[in-house]
Structure 1
């Protein structure tokens, strides 16, 4: 993990994501990129310099944004983390995806307001669209993480998981010396499906070369979302890890509606992994 991207709008959840990204970069010895996307009434990049004075509100927002970015750089430096700031005058999601591709980031850390009513549902938010389209892992933070990451629940159907994706999740857990729970919902509730899941979990465990503890949990329940939520409430993990999409961009975790509900129902940080 060499480069981490933090898109930020300076909201409370975005600042929580920035704080965690700084701490993560310190552990991983990674470089940080803070990216702020600004929407302007005109194409600011092509606007002649002498005409900028006609948009005093935009100039004010630019000054404020640069000050906030400078503050993030300063806070990173106090932790010994190398950080760079980027201010882009284009609020489209493609700017974030393009930045990831251009700068070869290993991880994106960003805030999400979570589900505070229909219009704020994570599934329709910028964070969710980045989660679904990015070719690298995306860590979604909804609120400040106050407790250490000690237990990570890896929730999956455990089918078609490749080695690179599993090894990334294990290495991520090792940064925090966190225990790992391999969790799957046996929606068919029969022994054949349970045996299939156990076999796949055992294959996954062979990739585990770290010192942290790893456990298996198979839950017999026809409703995947309820089974997952029951486990989360009972086991109380500190972070949820899910495979979000394959190289084609198609969702891999059960179905989009199920993953949406799981993501919307919890306030825990969520690490979304593409098939790497």
Structure 2
């Protein structure tokens, strides 16, 4: 990943994601594009077009200055990483999710980084947050950073797999991401079969010479959490095919749950 897009709303969660990305980019020698979507101007449709454009330009200039001030102030950041990445600033008008998607496509970034807040309001529970709106629509992988996360050098990435699907391609893609970080990729899956639950909780299997770990649990979310607690990993990766995304959207909201509750940075690989 040589070009990363960080979307910010100036919140503490966005601050955490930005700080994490700066340090990740320093190890990857990657560009960082910091993006703010000016959502207010989208509501000013009653103004004459000329005045509306002038308002957008004025607001974008002010937000651009605020964005640069905000980027220079990151107290939790170790000094050696401050000047490492090639940092670019972008302010665009429009709706948050669609604006992020458009910017990601135009800038040809290789990942979108978002901060995951600890608490969510009732509107987000009903209609979804910007993060959940992007899942399934993002043109590239998404990296979601929990609000309390702090950067740790990546040594191992846990890949949650569905053994009923062919995921060799995404496994190889993730290995390419991990290679410049000198990190390993460890696949695992959650076995929810009722007849298996009285056996060993965590077991190592061999699949054509590749180690794959199995967790026995009655729920996939608690099985994933258990695996992360039992292993020294610094990132969780998941691959959700489009058809599975719609299934989970209707049955349990797996992706939204993981995006909101993941204890580790979560990398969502797209189909």
TM-score higher than 0.5: yes
Tell me the distance in 2 between the aligned counterparts of 1:27 and 1:43.
44
Q: CA deviation at 1:272?
A: 0.6
Contact 1:2 1:106 (C-alpha < 8 Å) held by counterparts: yes
Determine helix, strand or coil for the equivalent of 1:10.
coil
Tell me the distance in 2 between the aligned counterparts of 1:122 and 1:141.
22
Which among 235, 240, 245 is matched to residue 239 of structure 1?
Answer: 235
Structure-2 residue corresponding to 1:186: 191
**CA 1:189–1:36 in structure 2 vs 1: closer, same or farther (change >3 Å)?**
same
Structure-2 residue corresponding to 1:145: 150
Determine helix, strand or coil for the equivalent of 2:178.
helix
The farther-off stretch of 79-88 and 181-190 is: 181-190
**CA 1:87–1:231 in structure 2 vs 1: closer, same or farther (change >3 Å)?**
same
Question: Number of residues paired by the alignment?
Answer: 255
The farther-off stretch of 109-118 and 254-263 is: 254-263
Q: CA deviation at 1:103?
A: 2.1
Tell me the distance in 2 between the aligned counterparts of 1:152 and 1:51.
46
Structure-1 residue corresponding to 2:93: 89
**Structure 2: stretches of 5+ with no match in the other structure:** 75-80, 197-203
Residue 156, structure 1, aligned to residue 161, structure 2: yes
Q: What's the Cα RMSD here?
A: 3.8
Residue 65, structure 1, aligned to residue 63, structure 2: yes
Contact 2:146 2:262 (C-alpha < 8 Å) held by counterparts: no
Q: CA deviation at 1:126?
A: 0.4
**CA 1:101–1:52 in structure 2 vs 1: closer, same or farther (change >3 Å)?**
closer
**CA 1:97–1:256 in structure 2 vs 1: closer, same or farther (change >3 Å)?**
farther
The C-alpha deviation readout for 1:217-238, integer Å capped at 9, x for no partner, is 1122332222222222332532
Tell me the distance in 1 between the aligned counterparts of 2:84 and 2:260.
34
Contact 1:5 1:107 (C-alpha < 8 Å) held by counterparts: yes
Determine helix, strand or coil for the equivalent of 1:169.
helix
Determine helix, strand or coil for the equivalent of 2:135.
helix
Contact 1:253 1:259 (C-alpha < 8 Å) held by counterparts: yes
**CA 1:274–1:107 in structure 2 vs 1: closer, same or farther (change >3 Å)?**
same
Tell me the distance in 1 between the aligned counterparts of 2:12 and 2:239.
27
**Structure 1: stretches of 5+ with no match in the other structure:** 192-196, 206-214
| TM-score (ref. length: structure 1) | 0.75
Structure-1 residue corresponding to 2:270: 274
Structure-2 residue corresponding to 1:48: 50
Determine helix, strand or coil for the equivalent of 2:188.
strand
**CA 1:30–1:251 in structure 2 vs 1: closer, same or farther (change >3 Å)?**
farther
